[in-house]
Homo-oligomer: A and B are copies of this chain.
Amino acid sequence: MLYFKTAGESHGKCLIAIVEGFPAGVLIDEAVINSEMKRRQGGLGRGGRMQIEEDRVEILSGIRKNITLGSPICLMIKNRDFKIDELPAVTRPRPGHADLAGVIKYNQKDARNILERASARETAARVAVGALVKILLSQFGIDVFGYVRGVGGINSDKFLGDISVGRDIREKSPMYCVDREIEAKIVERIKETSEKGDSLGGIIEVIAHGLPIGLGNHTQWDLRLDARLAGALMSVQAIKGVEVGLGCDVANKFGSEVHDEIFYEKSAKNKLLTGGFKRITNNAGGIEGGISNGEPIVVRAYMKPIPTLMKPLRSVDFLTKEPITATYERSDVCAVPAASVVCEAMVAFEISRAFLEKFGGDSLDEVKRNYEGYVSNI
């Protein structure tokens, strides 16, 4: 079974990801992983640390001569500012962070012992995993694409059509948007907000093309593809809302407006994936009954503004109980572009997991044979 875990603290030696259940025989180009690492570090609105980091992945295990072995893959990203033991104690918990709850839960006197792990720095390891599994998915024509749909209330209402077109636009966008109209407004909003010492959240959309019908399960609550995607997205630091397809809006509509009617076209272009069944709408976001239905997976995550503000929030020193203002740890105004890379990684991971659960196999050849047997049978 595919799974991954991460380890590592923000100013510790490194971040680590371990991935188990990845098939043997997949060619891994480190440069592809590193370009994802770079993408996570980019985007307008980031503070000074991003320049220090220049994350690069080092493969510690599971790959020989650039080919996966089927054994656990361990990826390391070194922290260039490793100084965790020297950093001062933090006794002023920051609202919106794990600081206070973590200190009490783990019986600590220094919130640094919590915040070092709770930090979004951990997402570097997730992005490395995402890059790895996207290489696997690409072997099956599955393309996962995350982008920024909105920041600080300036939200796109455009539907993203072709991912490859979107990717070209996104690559040039400082905000990882695919809608140039809102982008300029967002850039302006970030500038203003930066000057005020405030911060901004935003909306991330992740779309996955090329999934065959039949990933995920309707048979048990914790095997549903939508449940797993929701959990994976909500696990990303600062995400407070998650939706699939039409999402929260479904609550306000009639049934006759929501469900995606089913049609059949003998020579539908994605016939291989759906057997010729097709939809004209995709309000379901590609998942019905917890199973992929052959349409693109569409999910959205809603990110809160970064809680560490230059204009600090009121808090209490947890040792003295004196009112104070919260410790200022970081200076990003907006981390939504970075989070879009993380959300893309998490979606790619959950799709890969469902994919390998269905198709089994220990080597890429075997997974392919099983996959092809299935799709040619659809």
Q: How far is the CA of A277 from the CA of B226 in the complex (A)?
A: 36
User: Do B241 and A221 touch across chains, with their CB atoms under 8 A apart?
Assistant: no
State which of A165-173, A179-187, A193-201 sits at the interface with chain B.
A193-201
A27 interface residue (CB < 8 Å to B): no
User: Do B95 and A262 touch across chains, with their CB atoms under 8 A apart?
Assistant: yes
Per a CB cutoff under 8 Å, which of B1, B69, B202, B306 touches A9?
A: B69
For A306, list chain B residues within 8 Å (CB). 255
Q: Mark A192-221, 1 if CB is under 8 A from B, else 0.
A: 010000111111000000000110001111
A30 interface residue (CB < 8 Å to B): no
11 A-B residue pairings within 8 Å (CB atoms): A5-B18, A7-B74, A25-B106, A96-B258, A101-B293, A117-B219, A152-B252, A199-B255, A200-B254, A250-B304, A264-B323
Chain A 78-137 residues near chain B, CB threshold 8 A: 84-85, 93, 95-102, 104-108, 112-114, 116-118, 126
- Pick from A97, A230, A243, A260 the residue with the most CB of B within 10 Å: A230
For A138, list chain B residues within 8 Å (CB). none
User: Do A220 and B72 touch across chains, with their CB atoms under 8 A apart?
Assistant: yes
A42 interface residue (CB < 8 Å to B): no
User: Do A248 and B241 touch across chains, with their CB atoms under 8 A apart?
Assistant: yes
Q: Mark A227-252, 1 if CB is under 8 A from B, else 0.
A: 11111111111001111111111111
Q: How far is the CA of A114 from the CA of B71 in the complex (A)?
A: 9
Question: Copies of this chain, how many?
Answer: 4
For A274, list chain B residues within 8 Å (CB). 104
- Pick from A76, A151, A254, A377 the residue with the most CB of B within 10 Å: A254
Q: How far is the CA of A335 from the CA of B295 in the complex (A)?
A: 26
User: Do B305 and A254 touch across chains, with their CB atoms under 8 A apart?
Assistant: yes
Q: How far is the CA of A333 from the CA of B129 in the complex (A)?
A: 41
Known: A218-B98, A227-B232, A255-B309. A373 touches B369 (CB 8 A): yes
